[in-house]
Amino acid sequence: MAITALLPIVLFPLFNILSIEKTCLAYSNRFIFLFLGGFVIALAMEKWNLHRRLALNIVKMTGTSANRIVLGFFLASYLISMWISNTATALMMLPIASSVVALLVTKESISTDKGTRNFALTMMLAIAYGANIGGVGTLVGSPPNTAMAGILSKSFDHHVSFFEWMKIGLPFSICLLILSYFFLVRIIFPNRLGHFKLGHETIINEIKILGKISKAEARVFAVFVVTAILWIIQDPISSFLKKHHIEYTDTTIAIIAVLVLFLLPSGKDKGEPILKWKDSERLPWGVLLMFGGGMCLAEAFTGSGLAQTISSQMASFDKSNLFLYISTLTATGIAMTALMSNIAMVNFFIPVVGALALQADVSPALFAIPVAIASSCDFMFPMGTPPNAIVYSSGYIRSFDMLKGGIALNILALLLLMIVIYLQVG
């Protein structure tokens, strides 16, 4: 897919869609560097095992019953995925969850006892769904969020700030997290297993193995917290600096964090920084290329007039009721995400809904943000999102099980988005 994302550089100039200059510029969009910053912070957390410490301590605080252990993994996946890639979160949490399941229940009981099977199943789904939902909470939580912001900035000259996204995405994700947990463990896949003393002991032992927090972990955590705070309060700082003709954005904050991580001593070996350039070999460069290709595709949709043509065909829809209009577009986005990757849906559909918003004489963000959130709300199919595919590989989930739970969560997500839309437009 990363190689495929390079095709526009050859094809767009060849077919006179975009010049080579405009095509290549899309691959250096500032939102790509914002996402790069998120990847580097995640890399530092993984290098020094901070991500594992955070996850285990979150699970530790949730209790010893089967349902609370599931809740712990739900919360850990959710909170971590708000700040690092949901794919990386799922990859990190899966071996921890698998080890807990293996210690608590036997393979024989999973195959013969429905409650035990449901416990193992909901443990895996908690990771995938928690990561997907957590990715909605912040602008850097998932690639579609940043892609949407980049498209609005490039094609519609509308900047979606970190806080503007978060004031919608965070409440939505919290509500969906609570409802998803309740529906999974109480209604769709109840286990009724009660308490697991051994499960709590497993978490305690894993934390003991990690030992005391190191200087490097503490410094990475400090950079992580400061970066998150600066992202949240970016708007007032940006407004103040703008008066002095200084541009300050969430991308600026991300790159400052990157530079600090490469310069700040780890405290382990004399002179060794937290990150070395060699560590960057583990960065998902392919994802950044895919992101650039998507930005380029979105530019072509707008520049060629395709988005305007599609939007003009959809303009015949009744726009007198903005609530129903935006809800229809959002439902369409959820349906499209089930048929294609979420990043592909955003790159295709956001230019269209942005143009429709302008035709309706409203801010493009009013249409685009619910549609972008919808792109992370495919819970039905293993290939719908990377976290779904990752946990499906565990062997504890059948396709039918994911479909059964996913349909309910997709409906819940749409209803919550409709509430969000109603609060926005009245």
| Residue pLDDT, tens place only, 345-375 | 788 788 888 888 888 888 888 999 999 999 8
- Residue range 44-74, pLDDT digits in tens: 888 888 877 877 776 777 766 888 888 888 9
Task: Note the pTM of the prediction, 2 decimals.
Answer: 0.69
Lowest mean pLDDT segment, chosen from 35-39, 226-230, 285-289, 318-322:
318-322
* Position 312 pLDDT exceeds 90: no
- Give the structural domain span for 114: 18-425
Asked if residue 161 belongs to a domain, the reply is: yes
Asked if residue 10 belongs to a domain, the reply is: no
The residues with which 195 forms a beta bridge, in sequence order, are 65
Asked if residue 418 belongs to a domain, the reply is: yes
Asked if residue 4 belongs to a domain, the reply is: no
Q: Nearest-CA neighbor of 131 among 223, 55, 194?
A: 55
Asked if residue 155 belongs to a domain, the reply is: yes
State residue 195 phi and psi, 5-degree precision: -90, 145
Q: Residue 86 corresponds to which amino acid?
A: N
Asked if residue 2 belongs to a domain, the reply is: no
Asked if residue 353 belongs to a domain, the reply is: yes
Q: What is the pLDDT of residue 339?
A: 65
The token pair that represents 61 in the structure block: 């605080």
Q: Based on the structure, what is the number of domains in the chain?
A: 1
Distance, in Å, from the CA atom of 99 to the CA atom of 253, rounded to the nearest integer, reads: 37
Per-residue confidence at 28, pLDDT binned at 50, 70, 90? confident
Q: State percent of the chain over pLDDT 90.
A: 17
| Mean pLDDT of the region 132-139 | 89
Per-residue confidence at 11, pLDDT binned at 50, 70, 90? very high
Q: What is the pLDDT of residue 289?
A: 85
Q: Are 8 and 296 in contact (CB under 8 A)?
A: yes
Asked if residue 335 belongs to a domain, the reply is: yes
